Amino acid sequence: MTAGGPVPGPDGRLRCPWGLSTADYVAYHDEEWGRPVHGDDALFERLCLEAFQSGLSWITILRRREGFRAAFAGFRIAEVARFGEADRERLLLDEGIIRNRAKIDATLANARLLADWSPGALDELIWSHAPDPGTRPAPRVFGDVPAVTDESTALSKALKKRGLRFIGPTTAYALMQACGLVDDHLEGCLARGGQG
């Protein structure tokens, strides 16, 4: 086992170290992170949650994810696009989410914009930026995992060019990791390659 590489969990199986840092992370690491996500609403949810995470720890978002889903109508784009001023005020008072005015406003604006896109367009745009998996070696230690890549920078620019807000290159890369566009589970991790 390489220093800084995967570590054995309580079941003896190797995982990325962050995947064992809290009990909440174990299932997320093993069953969700890095698995392919498709569908406009599902990707809108991940896009929103990654934006809300900006400047915070992911565990903060993960622990409030059900609150976010309840507050934002399950992240169904068509429904969030119809949110008005009363909904905005409700969200700003909702203790089940991160009450950041700029992030809430960006989520509502992004939903209104995406509601006018053709079905599947968000999925197609995001997945068009997935790098060829054969071009990236498996990271051996956490330090091998980048925070930004050329692909995430291009994805961020493509989304911003179409009017989406709160999606910089680092947020775009976190989205790519979470939604399986890249597999940043460490070499030897039980979840690498969608296993687990």
**Between the CA of residue 75 and those of 67, 111, 114, 130, what are the distances in Å?**
11, 9, 12, 23
The Cα-based distances of 174 to 50, 84, 183 in angstroms read: 7, 29, 11
Residue 94 CB: number of other CB atoms within 10 A? 17
CA pair distance 179, 185, nearest whole angstrom = 12
List, by residue number, the catalytic residues. Answer: 28, 50, 58
Q: How far is CA 67 from the centre of its chain?
A: 16
- Asked whether 181 and 172 are in contact (CB, 8 A), the reply is no
